[in-house]
Structure 1
Amino acid sequence: MTNGVQATEPAGEVRPESIGDVPVRVVNTYSRLWQFETWLRAMVYVELRAKLGDSWADDLKKKPGHQQADASLTHMPTAESSALSYSQLPALLELIETHWDCFETYFPPRDLWHAKLREVKQIRNRVAHFRAGHADDYARILQFLRDLDKSFWRYCTSYNNGQPFLPQRINPVAKRFLPLDPLPFVEFEKKRWAQIGTRNKELPVGMTVHYQQRPWANVTTLKAGQPGLLYDIRLFAQDGRGLDYRRFLDRTRALHPHLVHVLLDSFSSEVRVTIPSVLGTKAIVALIEKCHEAAVNSIVRAAFSDKEAVIALASQWPEYVLGPENPLAFLSPDMPCSFFGV
């Protein structure tokens, strides 16, 4: 046990099998479809949370059948709780159509996007109904992922491109929590800012309040209430101490429906939370205050690096808790790569 994190493999962990009468090409095709749909759901979740806040899943909640059916199997529970995880692909694509303004920056022109999806849905249908399909189905899926690779890279890296509010007084939330920043930005020349001075180590938990603008957003002001703007909050233990992640997650459980993500680092010393700006200043301040209080009450004597243990803990929580291995937790604009590995 380290900082409230148990280093164990998820129950029921299995290794890949080689089954003679199952075509490898079909299995590979299914794996790539899984990869695409999983990340498509992640994209829809973030962009709709940024646009609609707590109302992001209202349309999906009107069709809760699959989630209720899964929850009824109490002997085999899963961690998933997002309405998107239980939505069929048509419902997901309908959301994208309804909020095309959030996604047109990522995808090809609408007519071309629809044409590509027709092929993907046909291949998906073949795999789902145990047909061997066309010899080129796998190649078509790989090409489809290549076409979208830069878009998903942009989606992910924009999530790790938080910027400080400068000057801090332009935003009431940043101004409110400035005393908790142990090394705040200062203006050393006109319109030139840097972190200068001595870190305030008297703060047991430091905090930075940054923002990220989603690629589709037309943000005209950095005040709370703007669709497409997320507050990006980092809470970090100071002076070599760590955070008991399990305790922090338990203490903030009631806040989770209002947060986009809770992101855990591999050193068990920092928690990052993202919050939709559309919730408004009063609600955002209250959420941050409670997160900070939970972090202060989750301090442990020393940080302990156990990446696998943190990953295991995150896997026990719903989709909004991300471990350090998730690209949304680390992939930044200065890290060029093939997102899908194609």
Structure 2
Amino acid sequence: MPEETLALYSRWWQLETYLRSLTYVELRAKYGIHWTNQIGQGATSRREKDESRSYMATADWEDPLSYLDVGKLFPILEANWDLVEPSLINKEALMARTSELLAIRHRLGHLRRPHRDDLSRLEQTLRDLEKGAFTAYASYNREFGAPGDLNDPVVAAWVREEHPTAQRLIRHADRQYDVIFRLSYTIRPYAEALQHGAPITGSEGLLWKATFHLRGQEVRPSALWRESYLDRNARQLLVHMLLDHGTVAFTFPAVDDGNRVADAIGDAFDAVLLNVRPRRGSTERELSESPMRSIHLDPRIQKDSGWTTVDDSTVPISLFGA
């Protein structure tokens, strides 16, 4: 394969992957469990057709956005501009580039040889997106502690420990597994900060974050993801399962039903304790499970990505390397 073609494909992969993942996070944070209503039926229908070929299922088959034509992705961004504006570039500038970007995509999709300026156009777009991408990622990892006296079902369940699973596991996990639990929340760039005393549950643009500090231990991503406890509530409600530096965390839209979210955190707690193990050198198979090295993990599992590694203290870096 010509080197320029490979470079062009890689740059397009960076661009489209970022736009799709940003769209997913912001729609989940805004609309919760009903987020797919915002992307139309075409993607959902394609996904349902793919179910008839389950023997060929890929890691993305449960993600409706992965079935969305890229030509329809930009109109969705435009229709939800109030959600994505802080994480992109000027609206008029991006929309003006859309036809050029799609022309590049079509050349790639139909294996036509690129224009000599295609690569530089893509790299310039990625450089322009750097500031917005940092905003998107850093805000995702900017955590706020949930006040214990808040009149909120999730706070009552997991800060005041009124949930049966909290009473059963929080201290037990610390004593027997050396696992520490913490509940926090994050605010998407477009959302307003909470007023004093306002509940978190029901707020658009906020995400709950249930974090388990493993303290010298680890979990294997694929094994934890397959854990049946997650099938009760967690898998349907969660935005991401995050793995980073001795922690595993689950994020949930605050706009969704608080009692269901509280139950989902309990299911995640059981799943983590069943899969935690002493940390050891990674085997070749486990190294291949990193989403940065493998295409075989669900995209909701995030490890070594901007959603797990970039925060306000991050030394300035080039997120796209362009």
Smaller-chain TM-score range?
A: 0.7 to 0.9
**Letter of the aligned partner of 1:45 in structure 2?**
Y
Are 1:330 and 2:309 an aligned pair? yes
* Residue in 2 that maps onto 1:208: 182
The alpha carbon displacement at 1:74 in A equals 3.9
> What pairs with 1:1-342 in structure 2 (closer than 5 Å)?
19=1, 23-60=2-39, 62-63=41-42, 64-80=44-60, 81-165=62-146, 167-170=147-150, 172=152, 173-178=154-159, 201-202=174-175, 204=177, 205-220=179-194, 221-237=198-214, 240=216, 242-243=218-219, 245-249=221-225, 250-251=227-228, 252-254=230-232, 255-265=234-244, 267=246, 270-300=247-277, 302-306=278-282, 309=286, 312=289, 316-323=296-303, 325-335=304-314, 336-342=316-322
The alpha carbon displacement at 1:151 in A equals 0.9
* Residue in 2 that maps onto 1:189: none
TM-score scaled by length of structure 1: 0.77
Higher helix share: 2
Matched position secondary structure for 2:53: coil
Specify which structure has the bigger relative contact order, considering alpha-carbon pairs within 8 angstroms and separated by 6 or more residues. 1
Task: Work out whether residues 266 and 310 of structure 1, in 8 Å CA contact, stay in contact via their aligned partners in 2.
Answer: no
Mapped to 1, the partners of 2:79 and 2:70 lie a distance apart of 14
Task: Work out whether residues 138 and 310 of structure 2, in 8 Å CA contact, stay in contact via their aligned partners in 1.
Answer: yes
The alpha carbon displacement at 1:98 in A equals 1.9
Task: Work out whether residues 182 and 211 of structure 2, in 8 Å CA contact, stay in contact via their aligned partners in 1.
Answer: yes
Matched position secondary structure for 1:26: helix
Summarize deviations over 1:291-337 as a string: whole Å, max 9, x none.
2232333344x2335286165176543211123x2221222121121
Distance 1:276 1:311, change over 3 A: farther
**What's the RMSD between the two structures over aligned residues?**
2.6
**Letter of the aligned partner of 2:319 in structure 1?**
F
Summarize deviations over 1:184-212 as a string: whole Å, max 9, x none.
xxxxxxxxxxxxxxxx9436442101110
Q: Which moved more, 1:47-56 or 1:312-321?
A: 312-321
Identity over aligned pairs, percent: 28
| Structure 1 runs, 4 residues or longer, greater than 4 Å off | 240-247
- Give structure 2 stretches of 5+ with no counterpart: 162-172
Task: Work out whether residues 89 and 132 of structure 2, in 8 Å CA contact, stay in contact via their aligned partners in 1.
Answer: no
Which one has a bigger Cα radius of gyration?
A: 1
Task: Work out whether residues 219 and 229 of structure 1, in 8 Å CA contact, stay in contact via their aligned partners in 2.
Answer: no
Task: Work out whether residues 52 and 278 of structure 1, in 8 Å CA contact, stay in contact via their aligned partners in 2.
Answer: yes
Task: Work out whether residues 206 and 253 of structure 2, in 8 Å CA contact, stay in contact via their aligned partners in 1.
Answer: yes
TM-score scaled by length of structure 2: 0.82
Task: Work out whether residues 41 and 84 of structure 1, in 8 Å CA contact, stay in contact via their aligned partners in 2.
Answer: yes
- Give structure 1 stretches of 5+ with no counterpart: 1-18, 181-199
